[in-house]
């Protein structure tokens, strides 16, 4: 239910923003948009009413989060509305209306849960579902090693293959990418996938003779957070391109070779995922913040890196940003934090700020919880 709530909250914010209420291209007034809550048929009226009661609060949270509503308002021509597709959804392509004729912008939601023919007594709907916990979040359990970048680079190929050979196509793509990275000395673990019962065909070794190298594959980049002197990136990028950066905080499990001669300019904290250790990030954050403080005080630039530059390093950077910077993004040695403390709303707002610059950021909930716990413990000590 998260995406329908987010979509409607966005609409409510946009329709209350008067400068953007009229679309100059279509003449459509956003105040005339359908801003009612659209949920799937299997959601009970009681649950729907409970969601509607909290919408106003969620909308206010969005308004104060720091998200760039102006850019969204300038490109959204129709209201957002979610559509659900399950494993048993039947779609007749020739009966799908032309997109331009729709009076809303669809958000297609694909459910990983399986339908059940038995009606559950706790629902008033004829529909019921066998929910697969975490199926939408834990992509390592179902994505077969396919990362978001790999998917979008090969999206049309994957779709055109059809369901019968889709898994084999994914295996070929993942293996070619693994070999490509291994040949360049990058981290390239072997992906092991447990075959499902429905897979009848034997797994074939992929043809690696025609590996194509795309320049964009090498451009994962270093992302600077405004004028804070903080940057985010992967450990591979840190090892290759940190010569013009004063300090490196490596949060990968493995050490890297950097160009800095001074011991105080490099710190390795082997932090693991919250799924492997629920307190790994929490236990290392004091050292991370102290290292950042000692170097930022001297006006040095700091690159924070982890395996992919998307999760652990983002959470470490968030803790440093909240602990040592004020609301305007200026380094104040922790003065603002010691005076105001931290709330979930404020932490969410700072995370939005980080994500504006680090466009690949995907911090996990488990790591964000550790950051919040660490910040609260710091406030208690002050």
Report all structural domains of the chain as residue ranges with CATH numbers, in order of start: 1-19+31-113 (no CATH), 137-192 (no CATH), 222-381 (3.90.190.10)
Instruction: List Cβ neighbours of 145 (8 Å cut-off, separation of 6 or more).
Output: 170, 174, 178, 191, 193
CB-side neighbour CA atoms (13 Å) of 300: 23
Helix/strand/coil percent split, the chain, to 5: 45, 10, 45
Q: Is 223 exposed, middle or buried, given 0-12, 13-18 or 19+ CB atoms closer than 10 A?
A: buried
- pLDDT score, position 40: 77
- d(C-alpha 291, C-alpha 296), whole Å: 9
Handedness of CA 159, 161, 163, 168 (dihedral sign): negative
pTM for the full predicted model? 0.67
Strands 302-306 and 230-234: parallel
End-to-end Cα separation, the chain, in angstroms = 39
- d(C-alpha 52, C-alpha 36), whole Å: 9
- pLDDT score, position 205: 37
Q: Where are the alpha helices (DSSP H) in the chain?
A: 2-15, 45-63, 69-75, 148-153, 155-161, 166-182, 235-241, 280-296, 312-324, 335-340, 344-357, 365-381
Going from the first residue of the chain to its last (382 residues), give the mean pLDDT of each consecutive group of 10, the final group possibly shorter: 69 59 48 78 83 86 79 79 78 76 83 54 49 58 80 89 84 87 67 49 37 37 91 89 87 84 86 91 96 94 93 96 92 90 89 90 93 88 62
- Whose tokens are 């990362």? That residue is 147
- pLDDT score, position 118: 45
Are residues 222 and 233 in contact, defined by beta-carbon separation less than 8 angstroms? yes
- d(C-alpha 128, C-alpha 122), whole Å: 10
Query: What's the token pair of residue 132?
Result: 């697969």
- pLDDT score, position 186: 64
Strands 266-268 and 247-250: parallel
- pLDDT score, position 135: 54
Are residues 196 and 165 in contact, defined by beta-carbon separation less than 8 angstroms? no
């Amino acid at each position: 239910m998260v995406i329908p709530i987010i979509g409607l909250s966005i609409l409510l914010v946009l329709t209350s923003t008067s400068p953007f209420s009229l679309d100059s291209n279509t003449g459509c007034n956003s105040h005339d948009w359908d801003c009612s809550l659209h949920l799937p048929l299997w959601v009970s009226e009681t649950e729907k009413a409970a969601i509607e009661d909290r919408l106003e609060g969620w909308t206010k949270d969005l308004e104060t989060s720091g998200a760039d509503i102006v850019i969204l308002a300038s490109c959204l021509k129709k209201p957002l509305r979610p559509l659900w597709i399950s494993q048993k959804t039947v779609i007749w392509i020739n009966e799908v209306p032309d997109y331009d004729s729709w009076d809303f912008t669809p958000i297609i939601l694909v459910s990983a849960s399986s339908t059940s023919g038995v009606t559950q007594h706790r629902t008033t709907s004829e529909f019921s579902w066998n929910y697969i916990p975490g199926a939408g979040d834990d992509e390592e359990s179902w994505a077969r090693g396919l990362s978001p970048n790999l998917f979008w680079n090969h999206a049309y190929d994957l779709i055109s293959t059809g369901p019968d050979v889709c898994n084999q196509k994914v295996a070929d793509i993942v293996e070619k990418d693994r070999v490509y990275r291994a040949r360049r000395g990058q981290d390239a673990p072997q992906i092991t996938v447990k075959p499902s019962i429905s897979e009848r065909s034997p797994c074939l070794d992929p043809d690696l003779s025609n590996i194509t190298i795309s320049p964009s594959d090498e451009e994962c980049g270093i992302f600077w957070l405004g004028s804070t002197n903080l940057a985010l990136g992967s450990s591979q990028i840190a090892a290759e391109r940190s010569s013009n950066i004063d300090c490196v905080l490596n949060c990968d499990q493995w050490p890297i070779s950097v160009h800095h001669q001074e011991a105080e300019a490099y710190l390795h904290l082997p932090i693991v995922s919250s799924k492997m250790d629920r307190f790994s990030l929490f236990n290392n954050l004091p050292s991370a913040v102290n290292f950042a403080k000692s170097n930022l005080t001297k006006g040095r630039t700091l690159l924070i890196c982890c395996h992919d530059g998307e999760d652990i390093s983002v959470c470490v950077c968030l803790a440093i940003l909240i602990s040592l910077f004020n609301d305007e993004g200026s380094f104040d040695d922790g003065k603002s934090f010691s005076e105001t403390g931290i709330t979930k709303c404020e932490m969410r707002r700072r995370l939005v700020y980080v994500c504006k610059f680090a466009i690949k950021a995907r911090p996990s909930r488990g790591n964000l919880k550790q950051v919040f716990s660490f910040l609260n413990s710091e406030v208690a000590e002050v």
